[in-house]
């Protein structure tokens, strides 16, 4: 890793407050990608909205799922309390790569990589992690993030600072082999308790110093100052979430209507029901 210089006095527009990584929202990078893919496709037609067609494009589904996973883990990390600094979507290096979450506290500094495999079976052992029997690079990437974060934060602090990698996996089933995984692997609901339960390794003064360094974008990324409109992206993503939920409800309504039709509801009642369904759908469209 090359030299990494921390500039204490950065120029910023007059009358503005310095921006830190605290402004970054969980899942920001994957939300951006999801929304960009969504924008490439045409909007749903009135007919598709009526029948509850899923507005999420197939190409965007993995990004959407990833964003949901990062936000769920962020909710758990927010419960760590005031002794910990929690940062999200931390840009690292020279490109668009980021670390899902960075945590600084009395029990250490942690880089957290989040994977959402809800509904799937996950197995881990050594440097291997498999989802439904398929090998993935998740463990390797988590370890690499920890190494890069250690190098960058140590350079900024002027002393060696260990950043411990954690892989947080949401899964229907999480099993481990005889050989311990090369990195800590936790389910989302366990990550906060695990981090808090470790022995203290940093004093309060050290935590304040490391938190200050961690909040600075220049600690991690070659571009020290970049103004991102994170709130707008979050609002757009949350609107997409609502549209997906509404479409799911609409499909459920249509399925119930089909069941009534199969059960041979009297023609008059069935016609009235379908009329009510159509009126509700058109009003919401």
**Angle value at C-alpha 191, between 190 and 192, nearest 5 degrees:** 100
Per cent of the chain over pLDDT 70 is 82
Structure tokens at 57: 């494009």
8 A C-beta contact, residue 127 and residue 65: no
pTM of the predicted structure, to 2 decimals: 0.76
| Helix residue spans in the chain (DSSP H) | 28-39, 46-50, 61-77, 138-157, 188-197, 204-215, 217-220, 230-262, 267-284
Give CA–CA dist 245/99, Å, rounded: 28
Nearest to 182 by CA among 210, 146, 226: 146
Q: Given a cut of 70, is residue 280 above it in pLDDT?
A: no
**10-19, 103-112, 261-270: the lowest-pLDDT one:** 10-19
Please provide residue 120's backbone torsions phi and psi, each rounded to the nearest 5 degrees: -115, 160
Mean pLDDT for the chain overall:
83
H or E element that contains 264: none
User: Residues, the chain, total?
Assistant: 285
Mean pLDDT of 221-225: 75
Give CA–CA dist 246/43, Å, rounded: 15
Contacts of 238 (CB under 8 A, 6+ apart): none
Hey, where are the domains in the chain?
Answer: 21-222+229-236, 247-284
Q: Given a cut of 60, is residue 131 above it in pLDDT?
A: yes
Per the listing, tokens 């997906």 go with 244
Contacts of 158 (CB under 8 A, 6+ apart): none
* pLDDT value of position 183: 94
Between strands 108-125 and 98-105, the pairing is antiparallel
């Amino acid at each position: 890793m090359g030299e990494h210089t921390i500039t204490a006095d950065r120029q910023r527009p007059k009358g503005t407050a310095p921006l830190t990584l605290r402004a970054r929202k969980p899942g920001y990078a994957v939300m951006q990608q999801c929304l960009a893919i969504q924008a490439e496709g045409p909007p749903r037609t009135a007919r598709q909205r009526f029948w509850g067609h899923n507005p999420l494009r197939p190409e965007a589904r993995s990004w959407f799922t990833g964003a949901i996973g990062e936000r769920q883990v962020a909710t758990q990390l927010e419960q760590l309390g005031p002794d910990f600094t929690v940062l999200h979507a931390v840009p690292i290096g020279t490109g668009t790569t980021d670390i899902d979450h960075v945590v600084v506290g009395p029990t250490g500094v942690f880089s957290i990589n989040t994977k959402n495999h809800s509904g799937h079976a996950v197995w881990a052992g050594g440097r291997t992690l498999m989802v439904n029997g398929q090998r993935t690079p998740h463990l390797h990437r988590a370890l690499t993030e920890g190494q890069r974060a250690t190098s960058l934060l140590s350079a900024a602090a002027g002393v060696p600072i260990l950043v411990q990698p954690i892989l947080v996996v949401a899964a229907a089933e999480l099993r481990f082999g005889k050989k311990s995984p090369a990195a800590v692997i936790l389910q989302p609901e366990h990550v906060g308790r695990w981090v808090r339960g470790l022995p203290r390794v940093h004093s309060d003064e050290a935590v304040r110093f490391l938190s200050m360094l961690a909040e600075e974008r220049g600690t991690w990324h070659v571009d020290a100052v970049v103004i991102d409109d994170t709130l707008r992206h979050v609002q757009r993503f949350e609107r997409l979430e609502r549209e997906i939920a509404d479409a799911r409800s609409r499909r459920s309504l249509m399925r119930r209507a089909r069941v009534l039709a199969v059960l041979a509801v009297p023609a008059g009642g069935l016609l009235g029901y379908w009329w009510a369904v159509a009126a509700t759908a058109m009003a919401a469209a």
